[in-house]
Amino acid sequence: MFVKGFGEHIIDILTVNPELSGIASASSILDVSNYTFQALTFGKDAEGFKHHAHTIHSESDGVYNNGKLHIVVYNNTSPSSYHSSATKAYFSSTYNSDPNYPHYYDTRLERASTVTNVSSAGEVGHYLNPAAVSSTSGLWNVVGGFPPSTVTEYVMYNPTGGLVTSGSMKSGFFNEHSLMNPSGYLTFAQISASSASSVKSTINGWASGALVTASGIDTNAQIQICVTLHTSDLASLAAFGGLNHIGVWCLDIREMLASGNVPPYTWNAKNDNRKYKLVAKKTFWDDLLYHEDFGTNPGFDEYLVNADTSISPVNEGPEYIFDIKFT
């Protein structure tokens, strides 16, 4: 659904002064690229940010859980998969696992605090990405939600501490390709809608980030937003409690101009000084990343981390497509 921020964004577009085109230092404010969709974010229930793989089991000299992704599995069915629903059921007496229903006045994905068990990491209402920068990358395995650009280890235990399985995770795709900033904003691929339509099924197409595609927009006023979650990014989000929200963001032009931040607004994954405004969100009652053991190897390892061909042999993960109609 569209939220109030989209209406505010439309007003900003309609009221920007066209006379700025004659002022060299301000003409770039009129650039169309400032007013397009700019980022996606991913979220879940607020209390989930203190459960699942966010749980701290050990700490030594600032290193949490021995630097590994530590996962306790509470499901008996497919025990080498991670079912967020089983964790929610196990802690149901103290853990309200319902995600926020979407509301027109929402300015973030979850209205309640999404602070993790490492409170110094802050919170923004959705999954953070501390692995994007070296100063906080050591927190990713408890803060979530996306792996760094290096190979990392995971270990899965049952509730009594017995080892279920362990292994290595590929580098996080979003961080390897500098597509997501530390606050968890995934940038849109910088290609045209017409180009996107022809390459959206290739690894270098929409798989490189979120995409906006359009077909006959002049006649049916409809576009699509497409995004793929890859291998280790997908596995990591599943371990941290899954996916219930996807948010769509534009640049908050008004706030940036008021603070003296003038265009051009270039993308910098490690030091992104752009401000964003939530314009739309999609909320799902169930975890979109539910999975079970598949094939001859454990589910977490094969089905999510190694991208078994039953998911998508090209994009290495599920594709999410959102149709937006303006009529």
Which amino acid makes up residue 38?
Q
Q: Which pLDDT does position 316 carry in this prediction?
A: 66
Average pLDDT for residues 182-204, to the nearest whole number? 65
Radius of gyration of the chain (CA): 20
Q: Is the pLDDT of residue 204 over 90?
A: no
- Residue 192 pLDDT level (bands cut at 50, 70, 90): low
Q: Which pLDDT does position 295 carry in this prediction?
A: 59
Q: Is the pLDDT of residue 63 over 50?
A: yes
Average pLDDT for residues 182-198, to the nearest whole number? 72
> Per mean pLDDT, which range of 71-85, 182-196, 268-282 is the poorest?
182-196
What would the pLDDT profile of 256-315 be if each residue is shown by its tens digit? Answer: 999 999 999 999 999 999 999 999 999 999 999 887 776 555 556 554 555 443 444 455
- Tell me which of 316 and 64 has the higher pLDDT: 64
Which amino acid makes up residue 130?
P
> Per mean pLDDT, which range of 31-45, 67-81, 190-204, 232-246 is the poorest?
190-204
Q: Which pLDDT does position 109 carry in this prediction?
A: 98
How far apart are the C-alpha atoms of 315 and 312, rounded to whole Å? 6
Which amino acid makes up residue 202?
T
How far apart are the C-alpha atoms of 230 and 317, rounded to whole Å? 5
Q: What angle do CA 185, 188, 192 make, to 5 degrees?
A: 170
Q: Is the pLDDT of residue 207 over 50?
A: no
What would the pLDDT profile of 12-59 be if each residue is shown by its tens digit? Answer: 999 998 888 888 778 899 999 899 999 999 999 999 999 999 999 999
pTM (two decimals): 0.91
How far apart are the C-alpha atoms of 190 and 29, rounded to whole Å? 19
Average pLDDT for residues 183-208, to the nearest whole number? 61
Among 180, 60, 57, 49, smallest CA distance to 122 is for 49
Mean pLDDT of the chain: 86
Average pLDDT for residues 137-154, to the nearest whole number? 94
Among 137, 203, 149, smallest CA distance to 178 is for 149
Contact 87, 51 (CB under 8 A): yes
DSSP category for residue 80 = T
Average pLDDT for residues 136-165, to the nearest whole number? 94
SS3 154: strand
- Tell me which of 209 and 149 has the higher pLDDT: 149
Which helix (H) or strand (E) covers residue 245, if one does?
strand 245-251
CB proximity list for 93: less than 8 A, separation 6 or greater: none
Residue 187 pairs with which residues in a beta bridge?
A: 39
Q: Which residues of 65-75 are buried (b: 16+ CB within 10 A; e: fewer)?
A: beebbbbbbbb
Tokens of 257: 């101009």
Alpha helices (H) along the chain: 4-15, 84-90, 140-143, 173-176, 193-199, 217-220, 231-239, 253-258, 299
How far apart are the C-alpha atoms of 51 and 62, rounded to whole Å? 20
